[in-house]
């Protein structure tokens, strides 16, 4: 593995965006900006921006720390403070970071929250996480309760229930924390920009239907979703980023090129995969290289849907601002029941002409990992394609066994090659 890392131009643009955001956060107290801590699934970025609030996403801080090899130290600090080994490692990384001075991933101090805004979308751990943060920061806390999609679709009652909370609970809490009045016309402007960026993101994700695929929709995909799923949705910066990304991918399609990886362009695409579950962040490049070495490109993934199922038709709608926000929260991947997840992944296998399906089961993430073996068997049954199952963790380096993961992947790709050879000779 070489030391130099090849990056797409859009990655460098995104890096500047993220660094700028963390710099704003570092200066928040001196500039008078109010800060809201929130989570990615079901986040209300446009609404927060309409109040001039700066969003902080604790799980983004955790994964960034994982990629920078800082998470192990923070997790150990949280465990010394009494947190169980079985607790979500995002939580422990975030708590450990706060215990050690709350220095963010870019080396700048994170501001304390003026408001903890929990949009509950399918992950019970988020609730306990915010209880811990409320104890630590003793600040205002508000919760938007989002009903689970038990019936497999968004009901009118559920949407109306969320809209009522937005009007009567969430917006008043944002007004009180920011000292500003709710301006629905301003919210509409943010939502209109969101829809533009969402159109371009969907185009990029669906470009993987081409052969060769110009993108990797899992490892590369985590970069593509970054601005839209976090602090930039609704901003002109996000619109410009996705326009630039779309042009970049269009150029690769026209030139018959594969995705850029840290090792360079993937030229030999032997296998097309659909992947379920989050990636491992502490060994992200090493994990990606295992796929690169086998010529395996991921053409669709569930993880790139945790912040919205835009490729299934949803768009933020400025003509229906609060209803649109409610539907967004209700429709996130982590808020879907298991049959709906299976349906989605089966569609991906078929629509993207995948050769196989892989589950990365994350030790400390029950929101994703519960039911994954059942999902795997059902997807195998419905597609007729073999699946594979590997186990890692989010940001705890103790639970990434490179040898074990590599062996399982090599065995799986060898099986796919044998099945392909058998099909050709039969």
Q: How far apart are CA 80 and CA 241, in angstroms?
A: 41
Q: How far apart are CA 242 and CA 13, in angstroms?
A: 10
For 184-242, give the secondary structure using H, E and C. Answer: HHHHHHHHHHHHHHHHHHHHHHHHHHCCCCCCCCCCCHHHHHHHHHCCCCCCHHHHHHH
The predicted-structure confidence for 184-210, as pLDDT tens digits, reads as follows 999 999 999 999 999 999 999 999 999
Half-sphere exposure of 194 (CA within 13 A, CB side): 33
Q: How far apart are CA 174 and CA 327, in angstroms?
A: 20
Query: Which residues partner with 298 through β-bridges?
Result: 273
The predicted-structure confidence for 110-156, as pLDDT tens digits, reads as follows 999 999 999 877 788 888 999 999 999 999 999 999 999 988 899 99
pLDDT at position 1 over 50: no
Q: How far apart are CA 19 and CA 379, in angstroms?
A: 40
Q: How far apart are CA 59 and CA 362, in angstroms?
A: 15
In the chain, where the domains are located: 9-182
The predicted-structure confidence for 204-261, as pLDDT tens digits, reads as follows 999 999 999 999 999 999 999 999 999 999 999 999 999 999 999 999 999 999 999 9
412-to-3, 215, 336, 370 alpha-carbon distances in Å: 28, 22, 28, 22
Question: If you search the block for the tokens 């975030």, which residue do you land on?
Answer: 94
Do the bridges between strand 356-362 and strand 387-392 make them parallel or antiparallel, or are there none, so unpaired? Answer: parallel
Q: How far apart are CA 418 and CA 356, in angstroms?
A: 13
CA 95, chain centre distance (Å)? 20
CATH code of the region 9-182 = 3.40.50.11890
Q: How far apart are CA 6 and CA 418, in angstroms?
A: 32
DSSP state for residue 273 in the 8-state scheme? E
The predicted-structure confidence for 98-107, as pLDDT tens digits, reads as follows 999 999 888 9
Average pLDDT over residues 394-423: 93
The predicted-structure confidence for 40-96, as pLDDT tens digits, reads as follows 999 999 999 999 999 999 999 999 999 999 999 999 999 999 999 888 999 999 999
Average pLDDT over residues 5-23: 86
DSSP E strand boundaries for 26-86 = 34-37, 53-56
Q: How far apart are CA 228 and CA 190, in angstroms?
A: 12
pTM value > 0.85: yes
From the CB of residue 423, how many other CB atoms can be counted at a distance below 10 Å?
Answer: 8
Let me know: does 33 contact 24? Beta carbons within 8 Å.
Answer: yes
């Amino acid at each position: 593995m070489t030391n130099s890392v090849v990056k797409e131009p859009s990655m460098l643009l995104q890096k500047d965006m993220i660094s700028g955001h963390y710099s704003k956060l570092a200066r928040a107290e001196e500039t008078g900006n109010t800060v809201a801590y929130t989570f990615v699934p079901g986040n209300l970025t446009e609404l927060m921006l309409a109040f001039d609030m700066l969003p902080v996403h604790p799980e983004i801080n955790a994964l960034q720390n994982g990629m920078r090899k800082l998470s192990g130290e923070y997790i150990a600090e949280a465990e010394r403070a009494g947190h169980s080994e079985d607790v979500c490692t995002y939580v422990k990384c975030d708590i450990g970071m706060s215990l050690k001075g709350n220095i963010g991933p870019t080396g700048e101090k994170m501001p304390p929250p003026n408001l903890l805004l929990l949009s509950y979308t399918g992950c019970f751990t988020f609730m306990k996480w915010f209880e811990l943060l409320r104890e630590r920061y003793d600040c205002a806390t508000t919760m938007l309760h989002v009903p689970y999609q038990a019936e497999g679709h968004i009901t009118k009652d559920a949407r109306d229930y969320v809209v009522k909370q937005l009007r009567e609970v969430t917006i008043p809490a944002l007004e009180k924390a920011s000292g500003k009045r709710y301006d629905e016309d301003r919210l509409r402007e943010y939502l209109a920009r969101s829809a533009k960026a969402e159109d371009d993101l969907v185009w990029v994700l669906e470009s993987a239907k081409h052969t060769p695929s110009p993108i990797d929709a899992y490892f590369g995909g985590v970069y593509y979703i970054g601005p839209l799923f976090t602090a930039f949705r609704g901003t002109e910066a996000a619109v410009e980023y996705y326009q630039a990304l779309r042009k970049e991918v269009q150029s690769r399609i026209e030139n018959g090129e594969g995705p850029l990886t840290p090792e360079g362009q993937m030229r030999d695409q032997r296998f097309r995969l659909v992947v379920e579950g989050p990636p491992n962040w502490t060994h992200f490049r090493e994990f990606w290289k295992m796929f690169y070495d086998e010529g395996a490109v991921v053409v669709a993934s569930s993880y790139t849907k945790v912040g919205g199922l835009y490729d299934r038709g949803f768009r933020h709608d400025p003509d229906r601002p609060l209803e649109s926000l409610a539907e967004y929260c209700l429709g996130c991947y982590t808020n879907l029941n298991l049959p709906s997840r299976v349906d989605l992944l089966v569609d991906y296998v078929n629509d993207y002409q995948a050769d196989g399906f892989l589950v990365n089961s994350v030790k400390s993430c029950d929101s994703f990992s519960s039911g994954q073996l059942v999902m795997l068997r059902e997807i195998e049954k419905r597609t007729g394609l073999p699946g594979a199952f590997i186990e890692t963790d989010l940001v705890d380096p103790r639970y990434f066994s490179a040898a074990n993961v590599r062996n399982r992947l090599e065995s799986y790709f060898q099986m796919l090659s044998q099945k392909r050879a058998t099909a050709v000779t039969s």
